[in-house]
Every structure is written in C-alpha cells, then in structure tokens.
Structure 1
Amino acid sequence: MKKSLLALAALGVFAGAAHAQSSVTLYGIIDAGFVYSNNSSGQKLYSMNSGNLQGSRWGLRGTEDLGGGLKAIFVLENGFNVFNGRLGQGGAEFGRQAYVGLSSQFGTVTLGRQYDSVVDYTGAFEVGSQWASYFGAHPGDLDNMNNSNRVNNAIKYTSANYAGFTFGGLYSLGGNAGQFNRNQIWSVGLGYSQGPLQLGAGYLNVKDPNYSFFGNTPSSSTTSSNMGGSRVYSGYASAKTQQVISAGGAYTFGAATVGATYSNTQFKDLGSEPGTGLTPVGGYTGGTGKFHNAEINFKYQLTPALLLGVAYDYTKGYGLGDAKYHQAMLGADYFLSKRTDVYIDGVYQHASGTDSTNRTAVANINGLSPSSTTNQVAAIVGIRHKF
C-alpha cells in the first residue's frame, strides 16, 4: 500500500513538472467607441466603431519547453468587430496573426502570417499606435506604421536582446510557379532601448502591393484595386513595388515623453499590373508616386491614471502628385484600472495640392471616407478592456 502511494505521488510530481514546461494563454482586447466626423463623403457622420486605440481581438499564445534553452511557440490571433460580431481583416479567422516557431538564446524563428519590420521597429513611435487611435495614424497609413496590412507566407527572424539592441527580418514567398519575385515581400529592422531612450529603423519592400499586401485577405479582389480606401495613394494601385523606409525614436524625462517618426514611401513602376484595369491615373505609366512623412509627438503622465497627448504630422507627396496633408491630434486616456481605460481623441486634417488620383486633394483621415473639402475633423470617445 505504501509503495502504491509513493508511486502515485511520484507520478503527480512528474505530471506537474510536465505541465509547468508548457502553457497556453487566452488573451484579448475589446475596444469600442463613438465617432463623429464633420465631413465624410460630404455628410456629417455619427457611428459606433470597434478597435480604436487597439483592434478588438482574442488570441491564443502558447509555449513548450523543449530543453536546452529551446522552446516551441505559437500565436493565433483573431480580429473582430464588437458591434456586429463580424471577423476583422477581410473575414480571416486569424487575420491579425497566425504563426508557429522556435525560440532560443540566439533569437526566434517563426512561420506564418506576421508583422513586418516597419511595424515591429518603428510603429510604436507614432501616436496612432499609442493614444491617438487609428484615426490619428499617418494619412491612409501609407507607411503601414499603424499595422493596417500583415504579411502572409512569412518566414521571420527576431534576435535576442544584446545590450539594448535588437534586430530582425522577414521574407514572404510569393508562391507563384515560374515567377519567383511575384508577390514577394521582405523587410529588415533594428531597434535600441536603454533607459529613457528608444530608437528604431525599418525597411519594407513589397512586390505587387495591390495583391500581396493590401489584398491578402479572403474578401480581397484578385482582379481589381484593393487600395481604394484612401485617396492619398489609391491612384497608385497599379504599382509594381511599394518601398518604405522608416525611423523613429522617443525620449522620456520624468512624466513626459517626446517622440518623432520619419518615413519615405514610394509606389514604383506604375502601370505594371496589366489586364486588371488598374491603369495609372493621369498617364503616369512607369512613374513613381512618393511621399515624405514626419511626425512629432508629446505625451505627459499627469497622474498615475491620466495620460495627455498632442502631436503634429506632415505628409508631402512628390514625384507625381504634390498633395500635402497637415494633421493635428489631441487626446486623453484615463485608466480606471490596469486593464480598463476610457479615452477621448480629436484629429484635424487639412489637404492641398493634387493627390494620387490626379484630382485636387481633399482631407482623408485614416479610417474615414474622404471629405468633400480640404478639411476634415474626427472625434472619438471610447472604452478599452484587456483580458
């Protein structure tokens, strides 16, 4: 009897050890708010909107200790609309992220649908990814710092931390027989974080962006434009290549943080998607639509519960269209607890010049339909809960 009890106790110890070596965590965010815009397609807009500060989501994150410092990891993350229950990311079941890989002291290698290096190393410095909501992202999220687009079929490496430095890269195979470069995506990035200083830089190169980057969800078109959401770049849907160079940084002193970002985005070789009807506007065959973008931002932790922020962003088109977009953001975020906060944000944008559609530029705040004038205002009040 004693031997049996000892055997059962030993089995219990080993079962507990095996359980401790692997884990699966359920997590998520529910973000809901009320949005007002003074001019959306020529009309005032009052709407309820899901995923403002952060996209509403639920996910599973797992890890298994394989011994010798090696771990197997995975993430499955689903986006959804809290107001109607619909799937996000064009109806993809796990459209936000879905990957599996191995992690060790030398870094992490993962395979699946993932974020590019611009998002990983510079995205956190723009206020659209912090307190200003995605309405406060750069116009049209033209540089993807706000993570509007993910990368399918990706192989990704992320380094360990070396005295504050991290680096990584991603490569996505197009998967087209006989066309190795078709739909190919690759990116690299570098980050530094030590004390009050944070810095980052990223590079992204996308072949056939209308299909491989903007059009990689179940609801995307395989024959027409997937870039019609913003007049900032919708006229460049026939581009062969999209290139983004980005950099950002932040410095914290006391309760205050000053940050800045810069990006250069180019849509190259327009007219390179034959047979799709994506002819370049204004006869820009072979041309390149280019943009400079610069943002400066400031946030202040007024109390442990209250964060205040202000920012200014400037976008300048060149190469073809010469549109200019001036954008100002103001916001406040109040934390009711560690997991629940309420927020209010305002965004103002003014446009001038000629945009990618070869028409007079109109204001077009990210996530909204274009204004019928050169000005547009958006105001958001919402609540976010994390679990």
Structure 2
Amino acid sequence: MKPGLYAVAVLGTLSAWQGAALAATSVTLYGVIDVPIEYVNRVATSAANPNAGGSRFGMPGVGGLSASRWGMRGREDLGSGNEALFVLEGGFNPDTGAQLSSGLFSRVAMVGLKNTGLGQITLGRQTTSLLDGLVNFSPLRFAATYEPGIWWMGVNYRQSNMVKYTGQFGAVQAVAHYSFGTGVPALAAGNLLANGGAGENPASHKDNTAYGASVMYLDGKYGLGIGYDEWHPAIISGQTAKVRKVSVGASYSTGPFKFTAGYRWNKADFANENTFLRDDYWWAGASYQVTPALGLSLAYFYADVKQSAATPTGAPTNPPNMQQYTFLADYNFSKRTDVYMAVGYAHNGSLSFDSAATAYAFNYPSMAGQKNMVGVITGIRHVF
C-alpha cells in the first residue's frame, strides 16, 4: 500500500475508534428545583430560645417534596460489560439561590467501576446502604418536609470517605459500605459532635468510621427491604460513641393503590456508654393515583422513645411518644413539572420529629410547653 493510502486508512480507523468511544461515553447535567410556601404554628424562634416564637409564614430553604439540587453524572463503556461512572451532586437553597455551606458537591461526589453481572464498586461521598435498601418504602418518597426521614435514617445517611458495593440481580439489590471518616458534623448540637469526619487518624482509626449493609426485593407488585447501619462519632480522638440502626420496610401495589409500612430500631450511645437516644420508629402509608396526573397520599409516623439524655452525664428521661399524620396531594403537569400541597399534624413533638436527634435540620424547634404543631405547605417542583 502506498504511504499516502496507508495514512488515510490509519486515520480512518482512529476516527472510527474515536467515534465509537464518544458514542459510548455520556455526561448528563441534571437537577431539581423545589420552591414552597409554608405556614407552621407553635414554632420556636430557635432551639436555644424555646420560650419565644409563634406562627411562621414564608419560604423554607429545605424545599417541599424534594431538596433542591443540581449535579453531573457520566459513564464510559470500557467493553466486555464493564463501565466507569461518576456522580457529582450539590444542594442549594431555592429561596435565596445560595449554595449550601457544607460544600459544592456535599450531596454526592463519587467515582467507580461497574460490571453488568457482578455489580459496582464506588468511592467517595455517598448515601448509606440503609437508605439505599429502605428508601423505596418511604410513604412520601423521603419528602423534604413532613416526613421524618432524618429521624428514620439518622443525620449520617450521607457519608464521606466511603467505599461501597452495589449489586443488582433481577429484582434483588444488595448493598454494603464502609466509611473511613463520615464527615458528619454533628449528631446533635452540643451532644455527639462528630469531629468533621476525621476518621482517617493514625492515632485512632475508629474515629467517625461507619459501615452497613442492606438487601431489597422490589418488583412491580411486592417489595421488602432490610438494612443495618453503625456509626462511631467522636468528640475527642479515641473516644468514640456508637449509633446503631436496624430497619425493615415493605410495600404492596395493586392498580392505582400502593401501601407501605416499616419499622426501625435505634440505639445511640455516648462514648461513656450512657444512652443518648433509644427509640422504636414505625410508619405506614397509602397512596392512590386518582388520575395519571393527580396522586394522593396519607402517611402515619410514630416514635416510641424509650430513653433520652441531653448530655453524656445527664439523667435519662422517657419523653412522650411522638406521632405525625401527613396528607399530600401532588398534581403533575408533565413528567418534569408538578405542583403540590401537604398538611402535617404532629403530636408530642415537632413536624418531621425535628429535635436534637436530627440536629434541627428542618428548622421546626418546638416552643416550650407545646404539644401539637400544624404545617401547611404548597409549592412548585421542576426536574431537569
């Protein structure tokens, strides 16, 4: 072959390879913007000032049905059923446009390898195995407001420095993870401080480490999941607390109806082995798709608090058990845009069971002496 023709052939082959590689590689920008307006009564000015407060009317930064976020995800086909993947995801306050103080990609920052038959290994900041295995049995799909999701999963449901395995085998999903340092700033302000996730400490390798696993079965009709999570937050290097959770959930779908129910056991101990919180959490929910556009949901949440203490040396108490009822109506204009309205009623506590155990993530601190709290929220959500 003449040199000129040979060069043309080589360039053509390289061009074909490059085209195939580009065709097998994708990067997607995605996100959710959810902006609500809310009325809530009997809410304190702050957790530190429970004697002042009243009704509040405004735009909560946490969002309504979803936490507002944006991100990028990508994949590259490596051949033979293998691929590389990554996800970068950050949150923001939709009412102000401000980035969350926890960082640009504080929700997810991970990279990994996947095999079609064996599953995937991912490294970085990710959700826990407990969340992955149980979130599908959430009555309101882990709604940002009026569902006690953080009470259920714990404030450590996202963890840094994590290695995680996920396998999908037909209708069965298996997940396991280990975190070398969770990066969770606090279990509760002034109680179990987690030292910024400095578990990668040669002097005390156990500080702020965590691990867990879950198994879930989910088909078009039945669902069942079970998971375990353990976390070792440390105020002082070498003095680790212990937080353990076991949860089981189930679902059943028939026609336009879906039913969910579940239970979660929790025991959180200070480093001196005194109990910070021991509780049993139960939930049940039913949803009805009235039309292809309109869905209605009703959920009930109950926390049986066995024992609670505010400090490592404080006397344990047995506070009244918290309950919450939530009704949600969601109307979809399209697959991307919906409007919603939800009403929540909490007894013996705050909406979403907001408390020291959730680090007041939802900003519903209770006024001193109040027994009930009511919230009404409506908003617009767009997915892109």
What TM-score bracket applies, with the shorter chain setting the length? 0.7 to 0.9
> Who is 2:324 aligned against?
327
Q: Residue 81 of structure 1 aligns to a residue in which SS?
A: coil
Q: What residue is the counterpart of 1:205 in the other structure?
A: 230
Q: CA deviation at 1:181?
A: 1.4
> Partners of 1:12 and 1:365 in 2: how far apart?
52
Q: Deviations over 1:119-163 (max 9, x none)?
A: 101123123435xx322222x722327x774101000000132x4
Q: In 2, Cα distance between the equivalents of 1:357 and 1:334? A: 31
* Code of the aligned partner of 1:370: S
Supply the distance in 1 between the matched residues of 2:331 and 2:59 (Cα, whole angstroms): 20
Q: Which moves more between the two structures, 2-11 or 191-200?
A: 2-11
Contact in 2 for aligned 1:365/1:376 (Cα 8 Å):
no
- 2:108 corresponds, among 97, 105, 117, to 97
Q: 1:16 aligns with which of 19, 30, 34?
A: 19
Local SS of the residue matching 1:134:
coil
Q: Which of 25, 38, 47 lines up with 2:28 in the alignment?
A: 25
Match of 2:92 among 47, 58, 80: 80
Q: Over aligned residues, Cα RMSD in angstroms?
A: 2.8
Partner of 1:151: 159
CA distance in 1, matches of 2:58, 2:300: 25
Kept after mapping to 2: 8 A contact 1:136/1:365: no
CA deviation vs aligned residue, 1:14-59 (integer Å, no higher than 9, x gap): 3321101211111111111101101111311011124221111111
The answer for the alignment partner of 1:64 in structure 2 is: 76
When residues 202 and 70 of structure 1 are mapped into structure 2, their CA distance, relative to the original with a 3 A threshold, is same
Does the 8 Å contact 1:166/1:190 carry over to 2? yes
Work out which of the residue numbers 144, 151, 154 in structure 2 matches 1:134.
144
Between the aligned residues of both structures, percent identity stands at 33
State whether residues 75 and 98 of structure 1, in contact with CA within 8 Å, keep that contact through their aligned partners in structure 2.
yes
Following superposition of structure 1 onto structure 2, how do residues 230-379 of structure 1 map, counting pairs within 5 Å?
240-268=241-269, 270=270, 272=272, 286-287=274-275, 289-319=277-307, 320-323=316-319, 324-351=321-348, 366-372=362-368, 373-379=370-376
Distance 1:148 1:81, change over 3 A: farther
Tell me, yes or no, if structure 1 residue 37 matches structure 2 residue 44.
Answer: no
Amino acid at match of 1:20: A
**CA–CA distance in structure 2, aligned partners of residues 307 and 253 of structure 1:** 15
Match of 1:184 in 2: 209
Equivalent in the alignment of 2:313: none
Aligned residues: 336
User: Which structure 2 segments of 5+ residues have no match?
Assistant: 45-52, 181-198, 308-315
- Which string of whole-angstrom CA distances, capped at 9 and with x for unpartnered residues, describes residues 34-87 of structure 1? 011011113110111242211111111011111221111100001111221222
Tell me the TM-score normalized by structure 1: 0.80
Q: Which amino acid aligns with 1:334?
A: Y
Residue 14 of structure 1 aligns to a residue whose secondary structure is: helix
Q: Distance in 2 between matches of 1:193 and 1:43?
A: 44
Q: 2:65 & 2:327 partners in 1: Cα distance? A: 13
Partner letter of residue 71 of structure 2?
G
Match status 1:165 vs 2:133: no
Given the superposition, is the C-alpha separation of residues 37 and 86 from structure 1 closer, same or farther in structure 2, using an over 3 Å criterion? same
- CA distance in structure 2 between the partners assigned to 1:205 and 1:181 by the alignment: 12
Cα distance in 2, alignment partners of residues 5 and 70 from structure 1: 31
- Structure 2 counterpart of 1:117, which letter? S
Equivalent residues of 2:208, 2:240 under 8 A apart = no
8 Å contact from structure 1 (residues 329, 348) kept in 2: yes
Amino acid at match of 1:175: E
Q: Which amino acid aligns with 2:153?
A: N
**Distance in 2, Cα, partners of 1:7 & 1:254:** 58
- Structure with the bigger percentage of strand: 2
Shift of 1:266: 1.1
Provide TM-score, normalisation by structure 2.
0.80
* Preserved CA contact (<8 Å) 2:354 2:362: no
Asked if structure 2 preserves the Cα contact closer than 8 Å seen for 1:204 and 1:245, the reply is: yes
Could you say what secondary structure the match of 1:49 adopts? Answer: coil
